[in-house]
């Protein structure tokens, strides 16, 4: 009875220990598996029967009394070749912490395996052979660790016994590696000199050979590294995995808290519907909780009946994720079948699964040099930056802000194989806005038919040289008012013009488009193509669109023809626009419910050298329309 209580107390104490997940990587023959084996052995993380088996195998392979690498290299091919091929997970604990270690391969051909092991790690141990120094593979391991958002890096300089425990060698490696790490987003970088074969500085500090090293041993670093702030405890993200309905009286939403803290009584918003309610209870198999934290799997019940299904997300009303069908991401291609940019894929992000397409491959990253290369597809283990468009709206945060909601996998729609893993990139600048010409026509057989009637003939018949008047400005600045006033002015003076207005276009030609970054770019592209067709028909096009980015307007000018493109800037203050806003967009942006409003919580780049400027605060629309007409007349366009 007493023994049973002792075991129960031990298990209870072990359950309360903090858990650290870490991965390890190293180049060929750096001694990574030996280091991990020695760590497991010295930390008493090996069972007696396993130890006996390893000792027997070591003798058969003539590797001495104990070959520590055999503790993690379990595959036959790994033992025969003396390398790590697949990811091996090992579990051990010390009086301070519990550990899950992912022993990942270091070979370039097994990049996908390393990425798999690093995807859930909070810390990475990167081995460097003291004899060889910082290799290209070492840099690649650090890059991938940084890419996967691992906040803590320990660089273990191994085989110090083979360089006579030289402090100079260790210092040079530390200097070289630190210089490379400055190019990456590494938050916590530490170094420790070790000898995995002998065990120096692995579990216990070496006080005989490396007296010059005053830091902690590898195990002490693992035990003491602070991970309390690694989890995102601010942004509540609760992806719903399953709707639990065992009887008529219970309706709960099962899932795992991805980030933030959810409490009983909290006001929540269900996305994408936007419906609000309050948390009634947090139910678990062991009883109800008053709150749940990241990593906990629970069932949440609400005060109100809301239509929520798998893939939806519970958040706080004043702390919303980005909601978009378009994402920019760093993608690791994990399939032996090369990427097909025109292929059919599913994207699985949190609990949401949707069809998607690869919209654009911006570049491929050389993982050895970090250089960007042009690419039209990705091969196995290659990494690139891509644009992806999902059929359904995704609810996400940038990966560097939230690893749980900022990551996803791509699934081949035909084979159902996982073919890629991605990390969503923060996109705040105009340089990251989708271009109008990013998506090219893939079928080279498509060709434009020659005109039977030329544009010059139509222009002569109508007595005008058609132009595109592109009116840009903030929301509610008066763009459309000016556009229609100008159309009337031209028509009354004998000319022919037609207005392409944002709202009208969205009700017709662009009714299938949303207000995502990608769809906004496609919206402007369609407008530019429509204006071009109007011009070729001899009609002057008047386009009234916010079009906040100079890049997008420049590309619209290329589509239409720069000789026809006339940019008009409606120069109005935010106060004026907010006052004339009859849709409440500015108020919504101020309250946080409206995202992406140009000039408020999204960029707006005013023209640097517009063809004409309209100041609605000091001039009437009719007056400006007359000025534009007269300017066109003097240029011989009307």
Whole-number pLDDT of residue 89 = 82
How does strand 565-570 pair with strand 612-614?
Answer: parallel
> 381: which residues sit within 8 A by CB, 6+ positions away?
108, 109, 110, 111, 112, 332, 333, 334
pLDDT tops 60 at residue 554:
yes
pLDDT at 136 over 90: no
Do the beta carbons of residue 329 and residue 425 sit within 8 Å?
yes
Check whether 582 has a pLDDT greater than 70. Answer: yes
- Residue 6: partners with Cβ closer than 8 Å, 6 or more residues away: none
Q: In the chain, what percentage of residues exceed pLDDT 70?
A: 87
233-267: per-residue pLDDT in tens? 889 999 999 999 998 889 999 999 999 999 999 99
- Is the C-alpha dihedral spanning 42, 43, 49, 54 positive or negative? negative
Within 10 angstroms of residue 434's Cβ, the number of other Cβ atoms is 26
The pLDDT value recorded for residue 83 is 46
**Chain centroid to CA 38:** 37
Instruction: Give residue 441's pLDDT.
Output: 43
Mean pLDDT of 426-435: 52
Lookup: tokens for 521: 């770019």
Q: Is the confidence at residue 339, as pLDDT, over 90?
A: yes
pLDDT in tens, 176-187: 999 889 888 788
More confident residue, 139 or 301: 301
**DSSP state, 322?**
E
Q: What share of the chain is helix, strand, coil (3-state, %, to 5)?
A: 30, 30, 45
Report how far residue 57's alpha carbon sits from residue 449's, in angstroms, rounded to the nearest whole number.
75
The C-alpha atoms of residue 297 and residue 446 are separated, in whole angstroms, by 53
Distance, CA of 470 to CA of 535 (rounded, Å): 13
pLDDT band of residue 37 (cuts 50, 70, 90) is confident
Is the pLDDT score of 25 beyond 50? yes
pLDDT in tens, 590-604: 877 777 788 888 889
Residue 25 · residue 124 · CB < 8 Å: yes
Lowest mean pLDDT among 133-142, 400-409, 608-617: 133-142
What does each C-alpha distance from 69 to 29, 42, 81, 112, 138 come to in angstroms? 11, 13, 12, 22, 20
Contacts of 274 (CB under 8 A, 6+ apart): none
16 compared with 4, residue with greater pLDDT: 16
pLDDT at 485: 94
How many C-beta atoms lie closer than 10 Å to residue 623's C-beta?
A: 11
State the pTM of this model. 0.65
Q: Is 50 exceeded by the pLDDT of residue 395?
A: yes
**419 touches 333 (CB < 8 A):** yes
142-164: b (≥16 Cβ within 10 Å) or e: bbbbbbbbbbbbbbbbbbbbebe
Most confident of 144-148, 263-267, 342-346: 263-267
pLDDT tens, residue by residue, 541-553: 999 999 998 888 9
Phi, psi of 256 (to 5 degrees): -115, 135
The torsion angle over the Cα atoms of residues 456, 457, 458 and 460, rounded to 10 degrees, is 80
State CA 26 to chain mean position distance: 26
Q: Is the model's pLDDT at 461 over the cut of 50?
A: yes
CA within 13 Å, CB half, 314: 33
Task: Compute the distance between CA of residue 157 and CA of residue 191 in angstroms, rounded to an integer.
Answer: 7
pLDDT of the residue at 309: 93
- What is the radius of gyration, based on Cα positions, of the chain? 31
CA distance linking residue 127 with residue 157, whole number of Å:
6
pLDDT at 452: 75
Ordered domains of the chain (ranges, CATH): 11-224 (3.40.50.300), 238-315 (2.40.30.10), 323-427 (2.40.30.10), 459-634 (3.40.50.300)
Higher pLDDT residue, 228 or 438? 228
Sequence-distant (6+) residues with CB within 8 A of 56 are none
Instruction: Find out whether 488 and 540 touch, Cβ atoms under 8 Å.
Output: no
568 HSE (CA, 13 A, CB side): 30
Cα 95 from Cα 223, distance rounded (Å): 9
Mean pLDDT throughout 118-135?
90
Residue 85 has pLDDT above 70, yes or no: no
Q: How far apart are CA 217 and CA 210, in angstroms?
A: 11
> DSSP string spanning 166-192?
-HHHHHHHHHHHHHHHTTS--SEEEEE
Q: Give burial (CB, 10 Å; 0-12/13-18/19+) of 453.
A: exposed
Instruction: Quote the pLDDT of residue 559.
Output: 93
The overall average pLDDT reported for the chain is: 85
**Strand ranges (E), 29-176:** 88-93, 97-103, 123-129, 152-158
Beta strands 250-256 and 242-247 are antiparallel
Proportion of the chain above pLDDT 90, given as a percent: 49
- 477 token code pair: 């600045």
pLDDT band (50, 70, 90) for residue 147: confident
Phi/psi at 153 (nearest 5 deg)? -125, 130
What pLDDT is recorded for position 86? 57
Instruction: Decide: 567 and 470 in contact? Cβ < 8 Å.
Output: yes
Distance from C-alpha of 27 to C-alpha of 52, rounded to nearest angstrom:
29
Residue 192 has pLDDT above 70, yes or no: yes
Measured between alpha carbons, how far is 193 from 188 in angstroms, rounded to an integer? Answer: 17
């Amino acid at each position: 009875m007493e023994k049973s209580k002792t075991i129960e107390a031990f298990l209870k104490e072990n359950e309360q220990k903090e858990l650290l997940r870490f991965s390890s990587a190293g180049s060929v023959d750096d001694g990574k598996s030996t280091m991990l084996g020695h760590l497991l052995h010295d930390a008493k993380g090996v069972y007696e029967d396993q130890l006996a088996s390893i000792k027997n195998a070591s003798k058969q392979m003539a590797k001495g009394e104990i070959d520590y690498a055999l503790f993690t290299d379990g595959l036959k091919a790994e033992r025969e070749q003396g390398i790590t091929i697949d990811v091996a997970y090992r579990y051990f604990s010390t009086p301070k912490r519990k550990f899950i270690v992912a022993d990942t391969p270091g070979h370039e051909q097994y990049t996908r395996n390393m990425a798999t092991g690093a995807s859930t790690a909070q810390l990475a141990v990167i081995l460097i052979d003291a004899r060889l120094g910082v290799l290209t593979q070492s840099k690649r391991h650090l890059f991938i660790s940084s890419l996967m958002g691992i906040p803590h890096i320990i660089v273990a300089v191994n085989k110090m016994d083979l360089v006579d425990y030289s402090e100079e060698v260790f210092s040079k490696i530390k200097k070289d590696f630190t210089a490379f790490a400055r190019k990456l987003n590494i938050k916590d970088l530490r170094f420790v000199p070790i000898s995995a074969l002998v065990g120096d500085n692995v579990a216990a500090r070496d006080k005989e050979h490396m007296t010059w090293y005053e830091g902690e041993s590898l195990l002490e670093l693992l035990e003491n590294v602070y991970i309390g702030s690694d989890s995102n405890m601010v942004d509540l993200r609760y992806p719903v995995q399953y709707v639990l309905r065992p009887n008529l009286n219970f309706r709960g939403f099962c899932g795992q808290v991805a980030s933030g803290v959810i409490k009983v009584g909290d006001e929540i918003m269900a996305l994408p519907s936007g419906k609000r309610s309050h948390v009634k209870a947090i139910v678990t198999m062991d009883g109800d909780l008053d709150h749940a934290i990241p990593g906990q799997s629970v069932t949440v019940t609400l005060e109100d009946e809301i239509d929520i299904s798998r893939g939806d997300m519970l958040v706080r009303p004043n702390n919303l994720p980005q909601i978009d069908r378009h994402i920019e991401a760093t993608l690791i291609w994990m399939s032996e079948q090369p990427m097909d940019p025109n292929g059919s894929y599913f994207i699985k992000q949190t609990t949401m699964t949707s069809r998607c397409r690869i919209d654009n491959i911006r570049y491929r990253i050389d993982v050895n040099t970090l250089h960007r290369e042009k690419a039209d597809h990705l091969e196995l283990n290659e990494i690139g930056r891509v644009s992806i468009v999902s059929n359904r709206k995704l609810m996400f945060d940038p990966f560097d802000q939230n690893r749980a909601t900022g990551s996803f996998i791509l699934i081949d729609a035909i084979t159902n194989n996982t073919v890629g893993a991605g990390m969503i990139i923060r996109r705040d600048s105009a340089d990251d806005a989708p271009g109008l010409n990013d998506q090219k026509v893939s079928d080279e057989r498509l060709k434009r038919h020659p005109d039977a009637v030329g544009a010059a003939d139509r222009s002569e018949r109508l007595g005008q040289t058609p132009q595109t008047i592109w009116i840009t400005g903030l929301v509610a600045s008066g763009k459309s008012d000016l556009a229609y006033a100008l159309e009337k002015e031209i028509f009354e003076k004998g000319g022919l013009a037609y207005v392409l207005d944002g709202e009208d276009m969205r009700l017709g030609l662009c009714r299938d488009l949303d207000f995502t970054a990608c769809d906004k770019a496609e919206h402007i592209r369609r407008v530019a193509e429509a204006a071009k067709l109007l011009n070729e028909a001899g009609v002057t096009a008047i386009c009234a669109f916010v079009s906040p980015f100079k890049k997008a307007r420049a590309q619209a000018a290329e589509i239409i023809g720069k000789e026809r493109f006339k940019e008009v800037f409606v120069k109005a203050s935010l106060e004026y626009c907010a006052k004339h806003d009859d849709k409440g967009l500015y108020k919504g942006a101020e309250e946080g419910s409206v995202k992406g409003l140009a000039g408020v919580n999204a960029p707006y780049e005013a023209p640097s050298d517009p063809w004409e400027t309209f100041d609605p605060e000091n001039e009437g629309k009719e007056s400006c329309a007359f000025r534009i007409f007269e300017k066109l007349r003097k240029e011989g366009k009307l």
